[in-house]
Chains A and B, each alone.
Chain A
């Protein structure tokens, strides 16, 4: 059972993907059944493993690719943090997407790649060796591309091209760095630490730079972020998944793995690459926020906000203090919950009442109060208003930075929070305080489709709960603390 569980949890998305590809376009009901049963099965398996891992169990699946080179799926607390997030959000996004695409076209293809995308994310979370990680990291690139260009118009195709240029170049760097290190020390597994001890300092530095550059493309760190704002031409459920769990998080998660499991904190500290990375992350945080301010398109503003927010995770990991790391890891989940809420709501606004630009937001909250309530909770959380989840992340990051002797990070956090407020509060103000320019007597209630309403409400509630009940044993914060205390301190 401990051997089969990781494979089972992977197949809960992989098998639906393979089945859905071959479904006829018109069998919508069958597609929904397969999708949701996969998602529910996954949630159940994740729940089993959460309980098991907390009581100290490990689950591991191995498959030999070449003698000595193995595909390793391993469930450790860090893997489970990411896996739980993706399983939970996949379930909600699937529900949302089914409602969003009601009577749409090419849906078998869409949901096939959608499930494949989630399978790739699952694989990334569970990867126990560097090669396994790379396999799923590339699968993610390939599975996401058809989703980005799903609309098939000129803008989508060119956004897709841009996405590929960035991610393929990033993967090439990543592959070169992985193979370089493995040619020196043999295949690298995450559970076997200190594999790199004894290598030349400059080799380590250069390889670290290549690895981080390769991963930073997906994590959308400046200056490698150029693909992300364009990719928002994708349908809303795709953007939601891309920004909250799938692509950007895969990059950030990879950087965390490299720092903690491939190099190890001591080695990263020893070769002095932590500080430069923290500076890069800080620059990204501030730059992303500044660019977000300039956008008038709602999804574009949210996309730049992602650029900024994902680097909190990298910042936390590169500061080394236990509190900063806990903050960064908790933010991996917190940002996912908040950002997916924002994108769900932006999608509903665009679909139901055609609002895509900020200057169209006037009085929208009176037309779609539930949607905008969810949006507001998530936006306030992003800014860092207590007791919503975003506050917890920022608090721990700031505390950890001081603890690590890097007080300048406080300035970054303060500036970023101000900027977050500057680019998100005007949206709320317009939506709630202004009145709608046109008469709001709509023929039908724009919130009549409850499957577009529930997912953002649930994720917003989850973001709120993650903050309020941060002390609960299964809260993202407690889990991040568990990772740090059990895994990283001897």
Chain B
């Protein structure tokens, strides 16, 4: 055999970064080829990710030393359970977003002077390459590069529609994101000057808690929190995510905010678990809780669907950091370990799928009605049942209702909160679910209303079904959660099960 694909040294992990980057190059050169190339690239990424998942479950975590230089000299790409799960999700969401965008942004349907056809595809592929790189990188500086690639491409996607509002939102996003990068980079520099290494696994061995280590961790966290729009640094997200065209919004809300959280997990759980004090963990939780409450309340007050969905992202991201106070929470009675850590990742995965579905459904509504005002949703349950169903399935997952990936995640986090006696985080989870029901059932009710009748531009059933499939996946993640659960346990950090002690 010419090429032994199953050989342990075949760089599958590198492919998930290299393929979209290469495709972005082609898409930038030829806008006629772009939609096809992007779809092939996303499919290949998913295929590579799935195959890596098989390797990871059978042989354990996979590593590729780029250029065959081992760390600390070279850098290593590494796929553990967490990374692979994120790669698969990124592949699925980007396939859906690209499939939905095909009609809107293909060269044939656009006049020569519009830029969107030329810009969406390379930018979307850069986002995919950036997030994939962030999931598999194990080197703090390499992570910085991945974050920057993602951010720049994402900001350009926000500005794509060319309207003044979109431009302002993009500038605001860029300001926040660059500030975040600055903090993160400072933290990286400080870490390097203290420890002389940037590889996360080497740091875990060498890091001792000293003032400069603490400062470095704080700076990196501040940067990452800005980029993941954690309260109180969330203000940039809703305008940016709602201003972008629907397929771009799906990429932004489902994928772009995820790498900062994954890196946050890696820094605290893998590199420096001994730095986390109970106070710090509770502080993280408090920020998350504020995000959940504020995001939900603001989502209720919006009059445009895309803003509702965007504020819901702020709320949903708040749940994720509850992992810090809850990690390792009294699992003595539970038949599983690392409940909170796994639960938070389940929420991350199901949020990506559900939010992608929701933005694509919203995109279909916008095409049908010409705007995304809530009162334009009236009557859509009859006119566009598929999109409404997709929206509904995504809503079920976001509310954390069973059976869905969101429920599995919430159940695990709730169990940890009660088992560790921290019932207040349990209340946040339950109340957050109720609040999300308020802001999601509002739009759903309007879809079922019959008066007044509004004009509708038909959207093909095939395109509506894309969101439905993505929504369905977020439900299936809850019904068939055993396999993803087992995948996530591969090479999970010790602190995930034992907590920060």
Q: Which residues of A contact B (CB under 8 A)?
A: 21, 64-69, 105-106, 108-109, 131, 134-135, 138-139, 142, 145-146, 149, 151-154, 157, 160-161, 164, 168-169, 172, 175-176, 179-180, 182-187
Contact B335 A134 (CB under 8 A): no
Complex CA–CA separation, A142 to B431 (angstroms) = 18
B322 at the interface (CB under 8 A from A): no
- Kindly identify, within residues 456 to 495 of chain B, every residue whose CB is under 8 Å from any CB belonging to chain A: 478-479, 481-482, 485
Contact A161 B433 (CB under 8 A): no
Kindly report which residue of chain B lies nearest to residue A176, judged by CB atoms. B430
Q: Which residues of B contact A (CB under 8 A)?
A: 330, 333-336, 381-382, 385, 389, 396, 401-403, 407-408, 411-412, 414-416, 418-419, 423, 426-427, 430-431, 433-434, 437, 441, 445, 448-451, 478-479, 481-482, 485
Least distance between B384 CB and chain A CB atoms (Å): 12
The 4 closest A-B pairs by CB, nearest first: A68-B335, A152-B450, A183-B418, A183-B419
Complex CA–CA separation, A66 to B483 (angstroms) = 9
Contact B336 A67 (CB under 8 A): yes
Complex CA–CA separation, A182 to B445 (angstroms) = 34
Complex CA–CA separation, A168 to B416 (angstroms) = 22
Q: Is the interface of B mostly helix, strand, loop or mixed?
A: helix
Contact A179 B402 (CB under 8 A): no
Contact B482 A175 (CB under 8 A): no
Known: A106-B382, A186-B334. A157 touches B482 (CB 8 A): no
Contact B437 A168 (CB under 8 A): yes
Contact A172 B482 (CB under 8 A): no
A residues in contact with B401, CB < 8 Å: 138, 142
B residues in contact with A21, CB < 8 Å: 385, 389
Contact B333 A185 (CB under 8 A): yes
Q: A180-B418, A184-B418 are in contact. List 15 more A-B contacts (CB 8 A).
A: A65-B408, A66-B408, A67-B336, A109-B385, A145-B441, A153-B451, A160-B448, A161-B441, A168-B437, A172-B430, A172-B434, A176-B427, A183-B330, A183-B416, A183-B418
Contact B333 A157 (CB under 8 A): no
Complex CA–CA separation, A145 to B411 (angstroms) = 24
Contact B335 A69 (CB under 8 A): yes
Complex CA–CA separation, A135 to B407 (angstroms) = 9
Complex CA–CA separation, A65 to B333 (angstroms) = 17
Contact A179 B448 (CB under 8 A): no
Candidates B334, B450, B451, B479; contact of A68 at CB < 8 Å:
B334
Least distance between B483 CB and chain A CB atoms (Å): 10
Least distance between A200 CB and chain B CB atoms (Å): 13
B residues in contact with A106, CB < 8 Å: 381-382
Complex CA–CA separation, A109 to B418 (angstroms) = 39
Candidates A67, A105, A135, A180; contact of B335 at CB < 8 Å:
A67
Known: A164-B437, A182-B415. A157 touches B449 (CB 8 A): yes
A residues in contact with B419, CB < 8 Å: 183-184
A residues in contact with B423, CB < 8 Å: 180
Known: A66-B485, A68-B335, A153-B451. A139 touches B434 (CB 8 A): no
Contact A187 B434 (CB under 8 A): no
Complex CA–CA separation, A9 to B411 (angstroms) = 27
A residues in contact with B448, CB < 8 Å: 146, 149, 152, 157, 160
B residues in contact with A180, CB < 8 Å: 418, 423, 426
Contact A109 B485 (CB under 8 A): no
Contact B445 A161 (CB under 8 A): yes
Contact B426 A179 (CB under 8 A): yes
